[in-house]
């Protein structure tokens, strides 16, 4: 990586993400934010009449969030999944509605990480083109596919339109594309395996190039989740639908679904994030599940390394690569991401403590954004943070968690 990125705070209070060192009049910034993931969805006609909110709720989200004193947040900068069809069919209205949300963000004084969402364009392509049957492999692997053309067009239009926004902190490709890599049928195709890591990196490298051509100065986050616990083995071992088969790359292992060792995790993490300078992880769960859940174990099934070990390892590998670490999503076990019990909040608090420790040491872990703030579009099926909530059975822990987040963010200010 040619230019190590930094998140900087200027003397004026402006946050600025740069590729290279901070300006002389700035200090290195480490901080915590929250996902306002549906702030655009509420203001978007493309999300349909049943989204449960309007642009007025977008404004309420911003107003309430600003009162926390936190400085930045992450949001989804396209409609969800196939709803991106609205942009293709009604581009002027789509951009006008996103402009309106972004104008409000600029006015708020907050800073944002827009997740442009690299996936789902195959679904949009099929809706636009009768008889077309593209899938994720066409999007990622075929540079001449309809879905690839749509993705590249959206990215180019998006970056040209918003590159000069005062509130823009950094770019994000988004969202969790790496979780599809090497999955067996039918996840990407009824008969074919999903794209491998090399193809995914080729795709993300192309998207990064589109952004860099317009804005060479800001860092770019992958938007990836944490590696699957078996990601290295899924990349290097043959898959069989009829049980484990021998793996020449790791003799003696359980093959395709074997839990990766720590060295294998390191290798696969670095390979997957090769195109970007901000390595994104998403990590949900409890402090330590007992008994261990094999599907969420890392490094060793018997010991089942928890999220703290995963984060420490990821930060060390990012530092070696000259990259920043950004935990873009985290929370308790779904759907109780931030409550209503103390147990639900145990992992978010543990992660915040780990981030404070990293910031104090000047580590590579720069940012985190908790899931999630005033989730209007999912209030019925998610527990999110709602300040001064009158719903004590689900959201009664919100104010305590908000206070904890604010305190952790302030403790990070010791970094110069």
Tell me which of 367 and 295 has the higher pLDDT. Answer: 367
| pLDDT value for 285 | 83
**Cα distance between residue 146 and residue 144, in whole Å:** 7
**Cα distance between residue 66 and residue 108, in whole Å:** 7
Q: Is the pLDDT of residue 360 over 60?
A: yes
The share of the chain scoring above pLDDT 70, in percent, equals 95
Cis peptide before 279 (omega within 30 of 0): no
Q: How high is the mean pLDDT of the chain?
A: 93
Average pLDDT value for residue range 276-294? 75
| pLDDT value for 182 | 98
pLDDT in tens, 161-172: 999 999 999 999
Angle between helices 146-162 and 121-128 (to 10 degrees): 110
| pLDDT value for 303 | 67
Average pLDDT value for residue range 358-377? 96
167 contacts 102 by C-beta, under 8 angstroms: yes
The share of the chain scoring above pLDDT 90, in percent, equals 85
| pLDDT value for 15 | 97
**Cα distance between residue 47 and residue 60, in whole Å:** 19
Indicate the helix (H) or strand (E) that contains 190: none
Average pLDDT value for residue range 236-247? 89
| Residue 174 pLDDT class (50, 70, 90 cuts) | confident
Q: Hey, what are 203's tokens?
A: 């795709």
| pLDDT value for 392 | 65
For residue 345, the SS3 value is helix
Tell me which of 293 and 37 has the higher pLDDT. Answer: 37
Average pLDDT value for residue range 128-153? 98
| pLDDT value for 342 | 86
| Residue 221 pLDDT class (50, 70, 90 cuts) | very high
- DSSP label of 224: P
| pLDDT value for 294 | 57
**Cα distance between residue 265 and residue 137, in whole Å:** 24
pLDDT in tens, 300-359: 766 677 788 899 999 999 999 999 999 999 999 899 999 888 889 999 999 999 999 999
pLDDT in tens, 34-74: 999 999 999 999 999 999 999 999 999 999 999 999 999 99
| pLDDT value for 293 | 54
Average pLDDT value for residue range 168-179? 96
Over its C-alpha atoms, the chain yields an Rg (Å, rounded) of 21
| Residue 416 pLDDT class (50, 70, 90 cuts) | very low
pLDDT in tens, 100-135: 999 999 999 999 999 998 899 999 999 999 999 999
Average pLDDT value for residue range 79-93? 96
Angle between helices 146-162 and 91-108 (to 10 degrees): 40
Say whether pTM exceeds 0.75. yes
**Cα distance between residue 226 and residue 231, in whole Å:** 10
> E-strand spans in 143-202?
171-172
| pLDDT value for 110 | 98
**Cα distance between residue 196 and residue 177, in whole Å:** 11
DSSP letters along 259-311, please?
Answer: PPPHHHHHHHHHHHTTT-SEEEEEEES-SS-SS--GGG-BS-TTT-B-HHHHH
| pLDDT value for 286 | 66
What class does CATH assign to 28-414? Answer: alpha beta
In the chain, domain spans: 28-414
Q: Hey, what are 310's tokens?
A: 């995963």
- DSSP label of 416: -
Candidate from 190-199, 238-247, 253-262 with smallest mean pLDDT: 238-247
Average pLDDT value for residue range 268-293? 83
Edge-to-edge strands, sheet with 5-10: 15-19, 5-10, 26-28
């Amino acid at each position: 990586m040619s230019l190590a990125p930094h998140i900087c705070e200027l003397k004026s209070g402006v946050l600025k993400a740069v590729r290279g060192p901070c300006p002389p009049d700035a200090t290195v910034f480490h901080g915590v934010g929250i996902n306002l993931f549906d702030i655009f969805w509420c203001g978007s006609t493309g999300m349909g009449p049943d989204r449960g909110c309007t642009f007025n709720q977008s404004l309420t989200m911003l107003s309430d969030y600003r009162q926390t004193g936190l400085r930045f947040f992450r949001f989804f900068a396209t409609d969800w999944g196939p709803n991106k069809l609205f942009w293709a069919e009604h581009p002027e209205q789509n951009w006008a509605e996103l402009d309106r949300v972004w104008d409000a963000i600029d006015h708020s004084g907050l800073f944002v990480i827009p997740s442009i969402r690299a996936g789902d364009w195959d679904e949009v392509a099929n809706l636009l083109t009768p008889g077309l049957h593209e899938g994720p492999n066409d999007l990622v692997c075929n540079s001449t596919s309809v879905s690839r053309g749509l993705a590249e067009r959206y990215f180019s239009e998006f970056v040209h339109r918003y590159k000069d926004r005062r509130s823009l902190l950094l770019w994000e490709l988004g969202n969790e594309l790496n979780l599809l890599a090497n999955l067996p049928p039918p996840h990407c195709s009824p008969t074919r395996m999903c794209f491998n890591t090399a193809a995914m990196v080729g795709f993300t490298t192309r998207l990064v190039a589109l952004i860099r051509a317009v804005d060479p100065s800001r860092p770019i986050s992958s938007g990836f989740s944490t590696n699957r616990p078996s990601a290295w083995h899924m990349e290097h071992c043959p898959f069989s639908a009829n049980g484990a088969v021998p793996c020449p790359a790791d003799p003696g292992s359980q093959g395709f679904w074997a839990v990766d060792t720590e060295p294998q995790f390191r290798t696969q993490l670095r390979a997957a994030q090769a195109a970007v300078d901000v390595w994104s992880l998403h990590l949900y769960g409890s402090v330590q599940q007992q008994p261990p859940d094999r599907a969420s174990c890392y490094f060793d099934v018997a010991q089942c390394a928890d999220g703290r070990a995963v984060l420490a390892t990821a930060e060390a590998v990012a530092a070696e690569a000259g990259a920043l670490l950004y935990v873009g999503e985290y929370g308790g076990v779904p759907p109780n991401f931030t409550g209503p019990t103390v147990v639900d909040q145990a992992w978010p608090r543990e992660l915040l403590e780990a981030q404070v420790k990293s910031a104090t040491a000047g580590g590579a872990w720069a940012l985190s954004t908790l899931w999630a703030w005033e989730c209007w579009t999912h209030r019925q099926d998610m527990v999110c943070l709602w300040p001064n909530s009158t719903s004590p059975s689900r959201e009664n822990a919100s104010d305590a968690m908000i206070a904890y987040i604010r305190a952790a963010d302030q403790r990070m200010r010791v970094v110069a």
